[in-house]
Chains A and B, each alone.
Chain A
Amino acid sequence: MSAVAETVNEAGSVHEQQYLTFMMADEEYGVDILAVQEIRGWEESTMIPNAPEYIRGVINLRGTIVPIMDLRMRFGLQQVSYSPVTVVIILKVESSHGERVMGIVVDAVSDVYTISDQSTRKPPELTEDRNSAFIKGLVNVNDKMVILLDVNELLKIPASSHVPGLANN
């Protein structure tokens, strides 16, 4: 599907992509809509021992074990308790060993925008910001800033070397 969408766009002069956006701490973030598999409500997950704090655990998604990441915690934002509108966006990316599916917990889903590459701006280089690796670009939609995220970077879990406990095995 992704291939088709991109060829069509490449035929035109402007490369456009659709983004699903969601809210988190009053900011709007966008992810490539083709990486989104589905959107679900929050449900209790099973904890993974010695996992990074932002990995909430794993859930059973129709027979597949899917890890769930709290994006607020991943970005170091203030934690909020989960509410009925708290949603989990299930993302799917191609990785070196096949497809990977992972869920991210966000405050609420917002909208779908079509965004052209040209209107995307590079984020300002902030060496202090440890989250800058996740940011693909910034874009203005209806006078609001949307932060576009790099899904591949987002779903990378650093090797568990810094994790205490069993990690040294």
Chain B
Amino acid sequence: MSIDLSQFHQVFFEESFEGLDVMESQLLDLDPANVDAETVNTIFRAAHSIKGGAGTFGFMQVSDFTHVVETLLDEIRSGTRSMTREYVDLFLQSVDCLRAMLSSLQAGDEPDGGRAASLKSEFEAILNGGEAASATQSQETAPADDKPAGWRVTFIPTEDLLQTGNEPFRMFRELQELVGDEHMRVVADTSYLPEFTNLTPECCYLRWLIEITTDIEKSAIESVFEWVADECEISIEPLDSVVADAPAAQENNAEDGAADADESSAPVIPAAVTAAVGAANAAASASAQKSNAQKAAKSAEPSSIRVSIDKVDSLINMVGELVITQSMLGQLGQDFDMSRLARLQEGLSQLEQNTRELQESVMKIRMMPISFAFSRFPRLVRDLGSQLGKKVNLVMLGESTELDKTVMEKIGDPLVHLVRNSMDHGLEKTADRLASGKSEEGKITLNAYHQGGNIVIEVSDDGAGLNEEKILAKARQKQLVPDSVELSPEEIHQLIFMPGFSTADVVSDISGRGVGMDVVRRNINELNGTIEVRSQRGKGSTFIIRLPLTLAILDGQLVQVKNETYIFPLVSIVESIQLQKRSLNNITGTQHVMKLRDEYIPIIRLDHIFGLRDEDEEFENPMLVVVEGDTEKVGIVVDDLLGQQQVVIKSLEQNYQKVPGISGATILGDGTVALIIDISGVGNNIESHPHSPRPEQAA
């Protein structure tokens, strides 16, 4: 069979990562003392699909490793072994290991077998050292140990085997080629043939017993049957250990039911099984998300998105309506006179409504529930908790809140950082908690909800809260704040977002290097979002992230500079005022500042930094737009304020390159292009500006 399987690799990887996520989340939910059979089944099925897929595609390292994992899971599932915390840890490690293996395979590298081998030997030690497992399973575990003289294969196809296009004799022939004519004996069992009158010619009633008398690998036999694994019951047993009565073995298999059939048989085609698992488990697609994110980071591979069929259907409906409106308008236009003006207006307003609805539903396609971003946290909190010796209860709320896929991908890392921070700095040590009358178990809450056109994500802990004195002392020590200045608690809280700030006494590998919060803040600002912190001593702190629902649309303020129109993101504008010449000052001759109420804010002339005007050219009635960039308020001088409108963000980099001070472009109502100002980019520029000497320099 010469199908190029590599075209399915991407699907296999995506589904396997999904499967791993399912395993992980189920393992974390698992309470070893009180094991839910269905949970174990779900984990088992996920592992089994990965094994099957890996086998099909020839990733033998993955399938071999998954096999031992699966074997132990099966023993737990069948009740011969009970779940313990050690097993859960081992399984979680295996999930990590598999994920690493699959990632390197996906990248086209050879996976590092060392970790898998050591984990595998741990599994084998458990399996072999444990209480006597059922006969077939132990054989399955270590078939290589006792090199059997041959194999007895019992092959019981389902009746519709032939209808799925599988031909048993082809497989027998393949086996024959594998082992040679003289080492194989095939016996057909015709006892299940119905009476001739009841016989359906398309059905397969025969069963086969195949004896192979050579020491071929069991996996080789399995691979012959792997395409029919779903349509048959098959058992492969070492020849010498099998008791002569085959019917008994068959009965055993029949009792164990369908699930056992694929467990003991060869790999199955992954799509069928994962589809079932995935559909049942909404959380499953989370991994598609994550793996996509990883992919995007690594290379420019096109990433995919899973869209529920409802969303697609509603889209199709709307396009249908649009077509109807269009044909209605078209008819109207063919012989139009003024008497039909009312109908035309009606049609146009219908068109407007259709367009708006269509736009909204297209946007919805990119929206995904935030549970995709949240799903990694149970594991993270669990691992980190045991590392830090803190007991932590993670509460996640509003997981179905939807936000844009791109925003989601970019918010993951900052959220991880915040949660790590909360666990390391926020929550006190268990002893301290008890001393201050709190419960032993710390609580971290992740909450997401919509507010206006924004999504708000809160990360809160019930720890000690921010220590204002310590922060202020540290800031003074690092000379971020002059000694003479007194700050309000809120202002002190903001200090933690300053670059290079950390109050952790000991730098751990979790946090404390002081590269954290400013990066978090910058990442969030890049998404046109904001972050603030609220904290109460002894009660805990809450980080509040506000993000736009989508990156594709922005509320913009149109401004005019000379003949050009630019767009300021509305979120960053603090206020707009008439520029008063007399309130302008300059420091060190190069930098204008303006006194605005109690503050001095630096002034940037957009026409200068964009090279639109010469320095000495004056202009009338300038407006000052006060914006808040990364940290500081900055005043930007423009000629005039035009309207406000929602603009669709288009990439300038796609066909051109990154332009300093410009974050993107958009198309205005008249079809012309307007550029969107990158506030922090413009703001950062004020220190180093070699281009235009300012008037003061010349003077």
Contacts and interface: CB of A to CB of B under 8 A. Distances in A.
Interface of A: 44-51, 55, 57-60, 63-67, 96-98, 100-102, 157, 159-160, 164-169
Contact of B691 (A46, A65, A165): A165
Given A46-B673, A60-B672, A63-B667, A167 B656 contact: no
Interface stretch (B220-228, B232-240, B681-689): B681-689
Most central of B655, B675, B684 by chain A CB within 10 Å: B655
B633 interface: no
A64 B657 contact: no
A167 B660 contact: yes
A60 B671 contact: yes
Contacts of B671: 60
Given A65-B655, A66-B655, A164 B650 contact: no
B344 interface: no
Nearest to B656: A67
A58 B685 contact: no
Interface string B403-440: 00000000000000000000000000000000000000
A98 B673 contact: no
B672 A46 contact: yes
B662 interface: yes
B652 interface: yes
A169 B661 contact: yes
A165 B673 CA distance: 22
Interface residues of B, number: 33
Interface in B639-661: 650-652, 654-657, 659-661
Given A50-B611, A58-B656, A98-B300, A63 B650 contact: yes
B488 to A, nearest CB: 33
A157 B691 contact: no
A67 B665 CA distance: 11
B174 interface: no
B564 interface: yes
5 contacts: A65-B651, A100-B655, A157-B657, A168-B688, A169-B684
A41 to B, nearest CB: 14
A47 B673 CA distance: 9
Contacts of A49: 609-612, 659, 661-662, 675
Given A63-B667, A169-B684, A157 B656 contact: yes
B654 A98 contact: yes
Contacts of A65: 650-652, 654-656, 665, 667, 673
A169 B688 CA distance: 9
A160 B673 contact: no
Contact of B667 (A45, A60, A166): A60
A58 B564 contact: no
B692 interface: yes
A65 B657 CA distance: 11
B574 to A, nearest CB: 22
B690 interface: yes
A77 B674 CA distance: 29
B685 A48 contact: no
Nearest to A55: B656
B650 A64 contact: yes
Contacts of A66: 655
B685 A100 contact: no
A101 B655 contact: yes
B610 A46 contact: no
Contacts of B564: 46-47
Contacts of A101: 655
A153 to B, nearest CB: 16
B648 to A, nearest CB: 9
B521 to A, nearest CB: 18
A145 to B, nearest CB: 31
Contacts of B682: 166
B383 to A, nearest CB: 36
Closest 6 CB pairs of A and B: A49-B610, A166-B660, A165-B691, A46-B673, A164-B691, A169-B660
B683 to A, nearest CB: 10
Contact of A165 (B300, B610, B654): B610
Most central of B612, B675, B681 by chain A CB within 10 Å: B675
Contacts of A169: 660-661, 681, 684-685
B662 A48 contact: yes
A11 to B, nearest CB: 24
A46 to B, nearest CB: 4
Given A65-B650, A65-B651, A165 B609 contact: yes
Contacts of A48: 652, 656, 659, 662, 675
Nearest to B673: A46
Given A45-B673, A58-B652, A164-B691, A97 B300 contact: yes
B672 A168 contact: no
A54 B137 CA distance: 74
A98 B300 CA distance: 8
Contacts of A59: 673
Contacts of B690: 164, 168
Contacts of B689: 165
Contacts of A97: 300
Contacts of B672: 44, 46, 60
Contacts of A57: 673
Given A46-B673, A64-B655, A166 B650 contact: no
A166 B681 contact: yes
B592 to A, nearest CB: 17
Contacts of B656: 48, 55, 58, 65, 67, 102, 157
A46 B655 contact: no
A135 B602 CA distance: 48
A166 B675 CA distance: 15
Contacts of B681: 166, 169
Nearest to A157: B657
Contacts of B609: 49, 165-166
A143 B249 CA distance: 89
B459 to A, nearest CB: 31
A63 B659 CA distance: 19
Nearest to A97: B300
Nearest to A69: B656
B665 A58 contact: yes
Contacts of A159: 657
Interface string B541-566: 00000000000000000000000100
Contacts of B661: 49-50, 166, 169
B673 A60 contact: yes
B655 to A, nearest CB: 5
Given A102-B656, A168-B690, A169-B681, 7 more contacts: A46-B665, A46-B673, A48-B656, A102-B655, A157-B657, A165-B611, A166-B661
